Amino acid sequence: MYSVMWSEHCSYKSSKLHLKRFAVLPPTTPRGPLLAGIGEQAGVVDIGDGWAVTFKIESHNHPSYVEPYQGAATGVGGIVRDILAMGARPVAVMDPLRFGPLDAPDTARVLPGVVAGIGGYGNCLGLPTIGGEVVFDESYAGNPLVNALCVGVLRHEDLKRAAATGLGNQVILYGARTGGDGIGGASILASETFTEGGPTKRPSVQVGDPFMEKLLIECTLELFQAGVIQGIQDFGAAGLSCATSELASAGSGGMHVTLDAVPLRDSSLAPEEILMSESQERMMAVVTPADVDRFMAICAKWDVLATVVGEVIDGDRLLIDWHGERVVDVDPKTVAHEGPTYDRPVARPAWQDAVTADTTARLPRPATSDELARDLVAVITSPNLADVSWVTDQYDRVVRGNSALAQPEDAGMLRIDERTGLGVALATDCNARFAFLDPYAGAQLALAEAYRNVAITGAEPVAITDCLNFGSPEDPEVMWQFVEAIKGLVDGCLALGTPVTGGNVSFYNKTGTRAILPTPTVGMLGVIDHVSDRIRSGFAHAGDAIYLLGTTADELDGSAWAGVCHGHLGGRPPALDFDHHRRLAEFCAAAATGGMLTSAHDLSDGGLGVALLEACFRNGLGAAVTLPGDPFVALFSESAGRVLVSCPPAQVAVVEALARDHALPVTRLGEVREAPELVVTGQFTLGLQELRDQWRAVIPAALGLIA
């Protein structure tokens, strides 16, 4: 029990010293105080009209390398139960994914399995997958990142907590039987470094059953409605060890549990294996004796197995018996919350200065129009900017009928209230190349990109969750990256007024001696008063005017152009102005409410050139534009805080005036055209039909799915 509960994955022993920095953030959003924050199973945000949203992102990285399908599937299942345990109905998921090179042999094993696992589990649950990322980089070879976000909806009064209170109250385990899958996963699989040849240890990855989870969701929601649950905890990492110790530690008494009563799939399991098993689709509830029969009847209705395994007792001990023998007698607070705190060495890498000095200034830039066009085609058809519909088409994006926006839009959006149209928008983002160049700035740029992607839909960004993916904490250079990223997020959230509601730390993402690029993934939540005001990302009508909001500078370090065309990663990330981002968000909200814009698309990876092509591809339209300043910088710079927008001719003066009112630089670029071609005046013309086919074929062709 101490082994799993004090593991890196469960106790955060290497990170909690630094995570305390988040405590300086006010527990409030632009829409009001947080209803639950860091330390709960998931954060809960008040979005108005008595509605609340709970959302959280976590990782299932190492299991997804060992067994891609089940690793990814159970990652979805675990985060869904976290949301359910807050008293909410899970309503959507997102999946930021990162793999080794697209053409690497192992990617052909891991990528399809992960995608099938996410789609198979989420689709069976009836949850739309409304967003995410797909990124390829050499550093993730042998250590993919499978991060999963879930969002749930509840009324304020339905909020639930994980605490075992009330002397004599019964402790009920309900859901699937306990098996031998995932034993020690938290302490071994998620807390060890992989070798070049594979994981150092290969315990069984959890095996998921989405149909059981769907029954568990509906059963739990009816139990909530019936008012028969006093406290609830999902089973995740560390299994029964975690559920019992955390429930008991948060309550007002102790707990006595009889392991003999735990329903098993494998009768040969030893008591320590039962305590550590991470079998999926299980929950634990605290119920008054008077409500037990009602609880059991509801479980029987949904064909969900439920068993009384213990009770709340006087005192402050967690007591667990097996075959009449006392096998556990511990202070649950010690087990759950008083694990070791490591103040690990932190050292700025000796190579950091050389990386910073190695800017793109030394790289040859395209000198002719033909070379400009060549580089743009190379960038848009590179793995990280190619079409990901082969992935997203395996996910149901519209099930439940409340998806107002979903991939390939810049953010997902959900209708929360059919009566008022109230909705939320969500985006997940991180450019790990920027985080490698400067983890402080890179984390802030991830925050800013997620903020922009939510804002350009017309929603107001209000709060974040984060999944901090890094190498081994035993490496002082990795710890420096980690600490700098946290500092960046804290300062950025203070500037934007977006609190951190919770999240996850994933360490030991390393194969051999090589750590992954530092990847502090940010999930941003926004609120929109009526989803009918949403703004889409693609050009919508021929004749619409095209504008660029924001300032473009010669900022190519860490850019897609540098990586794709020259294999280069060095220099400094783009500069960042948070006040500009706040004004940009206010502009987008006003434009959305006024119906002024027909499209808005964030400029990030690849810069303006990629944004123009993506906006054209979306609805099969073309564009004619004139580039301001240096054509190369205009096309490929990745300066932060820029948005490509379009509006009807009748709205031109209104949009320009609104931009001026918000002190936003605004540049008229050109217009949307019916003909499927991108005309860059004085430079080149690209036919879009053939290029779109090439862009769409990159991932399936690399996987051998098309010739």
User: Is the same domain home to 587 and 673?
Assistant: yes
Of 273, 305, 339, at which residue does a domain stop?
A: 339
pLDDT in tens, 434-471: 999 999 999 999 999 999 999 999 999 999 999 999 99
* Mean pLDDT, the chain, integer: 95
pLDDT for position 163:
84
Contact 565, 375 (CB under 8 A): yes
User: Is the same domain home to 481 and 575?
Assistant: no
The count of structural domains within the chain is 3
Instruction: Indicate whether 349 belongs to any domain.
Output: no
Contact 122, 407 (CB under 8 A): no
User: Is the same domain home to 53 and 167?
Assistant: no
Instruction: Indicate whether 174 belongs to any domain.
Output: yes
pLDDT for position 507:
97
User: Is the same domain home to 580 and 642?
Assistant: yes
Instruction: Indicate whether 140 belongs to any domain.
Output: yes
pLDDT for position 200:
40
- Taken in order 494, 496, 502, 504, the sign of the CA dihedral is negative
Known catalytic residue at 9: yes
Per-residue pLDDT at 195 exceeds 80: no
Q: Using alpha carbons, select from 345, 340, 341 the residue that is nearest to residue 483.
A: 345
User: Is the same domain home to 187 and 76?
Assistant: no
Q: Could you give the CA distance from residue 686 to residue 682 in angstroms, rounded to a whole number?
A: 13
Residue 150's DSSP bridge partners are 56, 93
User: Is the same domain home to 114 and 201?
Assistant: no
User: Is the same domain home to 181 and 297?
Assistant: yes
Per-residue pLDDT at 510 exceeds 50: yes
Percent of the chain with pLDDT over 90: 92
Q: Using alpha carbons, select from 50, 21, 51 the residue that is nearest to residue 416.
A: 51
User: Is the same domain home to 130 and 172?
Assistant: no
Query: Catalytic one among 60, 62, 581, 601?
Result: 60
Residue 599's DSSP bridge partners are 646
- Can you give the residue range of the structural domain that contains 676? 535-701
User: At 585, which CATH number?
Assistant: 3.90.650.10
Between 202 and 644, residue with greater pLDDT: 644
Instruction: Indicate whether 375 belongs to any domain.
Output: no
Q: Could you give the CA distance from residue 213 to residue 196 in angstroms, rounded to a whole number?
A: 35
Instruction: Indicate whether 82 belongs to any domain.
Output: yes
Query: Catalytic one among 9, 580, 601, 662?
Result: 9
Of 497, 530, 563, at which residue does a domain stop?
A: 530
pLDDT in tens, 278-309: 999 999 999 999 999 999 999 999 999 999 99
Instruction: Indicate whether 320 belongs to any domain.
Output: yes
450-471 burial, b if ≥16 CB within 10 A, otherwise e?
bbbbbbbbbbbbbbbbbbbbbb
Instruction: Indicate whether 511 belongs to any domain.
Output: no
356-386 burial, b if ≥16 CB within 10 A, otherwise e?
eebbbeebebbeeeeebbebbbebbbbbbbb
Average pLDDT estimate for 152-167: 92
DSSP 38: B
Contacts with 496 (C-beta within 8 Å, 6 or more apart), sequence order: 447, 451, 461, 578, 581, 582
Q: Which residue has the tokens 């075959």?
A: 323
Contact 123, 393 (CB under 8 A): no
User: Is the same domain home to 295 and 411?
Assistant: no
pLDDT in tens, 214-257: 999 999 999 999 999 999 999 878 899 999 999 999 888 899 99
Residue 578 tokens, joined? 């948070």
Known catalytic residue at 256: no
User: Is the same domain home to 279 and 411?
Assistant: no
Percent of the chain with pLDDT over 70: 97
Contact 322, 259 (CB under 8 A): yes
pLDDT for position 400:
94
User: Is the same domain home to 569 and 653?
Assistant: yes
pLDDT in tens, 85-109: 999 999 999 999 999 999 999 999 9
pLDDT for position 193:
56
Measured CA to CA in angstroms, residue 190 lies from 143, 251, 306, 423 at distances of: 11, 28, 29, 35
Alpha-carbon 329 to chain mean position: 38
User: Is the same domain home to 118 and 241?
Assistant: no
User: At 97, which CATH number?
Assistant: 3.30.1330.10
The helix-helix angle for 578-593 and 652-661 (nearest 10°) equals 140
Instruction: Indicate whether 38 belongs to any domain.
Output: yes
